[in-house]
Amino acid sequence: MEQVRKFERELADFYGAPYAVTADSCTHAIELCLRYQPPKEQITIPAKTYISIPFTLIKLGLKWKFIDSEWQDFYYLGNTKIIDAAVHFQEKGYVDDTFMCLSFQYKKTLSLGRGGAILCKHKNDYDVLKKMSYDGRTDDKPWKEQDISTIGYHYYMTTETAIQGSNKLKSAVPKPRQGSVDYPYLPAMKIFN
């Protein structure tokens, strides 16, 4: 797991964030944040975003609604500190005191086939989210020697993906900026009616 921790440090340094927690996808990174700090108010999301975001909100039984809003590079899940930054690749691009969720899916700038991360400010947030992503355990000793106290979700990044990320991070060439214009209007789909 040292390779995963190394990649997390490299990501945090690149984006200018204090900490980075890797995950197996951006959608799962967002889900972990929503489980970690459940919203007290109705969440708003852009009507043009990736379809897994409203599906995640439905799966978690959260109150939410679409809003018509334009965005570029990233957007907040309204009424939270969570940012969907799946298409955001910018050195020192972390927004302070947020949970900024990244994607490394094969079409993204840092293309790893699959993977994601959560950029965060506080060590405690890192520790809890890391355990949540890793079956509720830490990576410093075998799980059978641990007294698991956190529910985990098996959303961790593999060592192989982290090694690939470390190898590609410094040479990744940013793609043209993306935003809401690159997504369909989800409220028009049958599944949301």
Tens of pLDDT along 5-53? 999 999 999 999 999 999 999 999 999 999 999 999 999 999 999 999 9
Token pair listed for 172: 């990744």
pLDDT digit string, tens, across residues 134-144:
999 998 899 99
Strand partners, 120: 19
pLDDT at 94: 98
pLDDT at 65: 98
Distance between CA atoms of residues 100 and 33, nearest Å:
9
pTM for this entry: 0.96
For residue 25, which of 113, 99, 98 has the smallest C-alpha distance?
113
pLDDT at 1: 82
**Across 183-189, average pLDDT:** 97
Whether 174 shows a pLDDT value over 90: the answer reads no
Q: What confidence category does residue 175 fall into, taking pLDDT thresholds of 50, 70 and 90? A: confident
pLDDT digit string, tens, across residues 46-98:
999 999 999 999 999 999 999 999 999 999 999 999 999 999 999 999 999 99
Token pair listed for 82: 């969570």
pLDDT at 162: 97
pLDDT at 90: 94
What angle, rounded to 10 degrees, do the helices at 2-15 and 159-169 form? 40
Whether 171 shows a pLDDT value over 90: the answer reads yes
For residue 179, which of 115, 85, 102 has the smallest C-alpha distance?
85
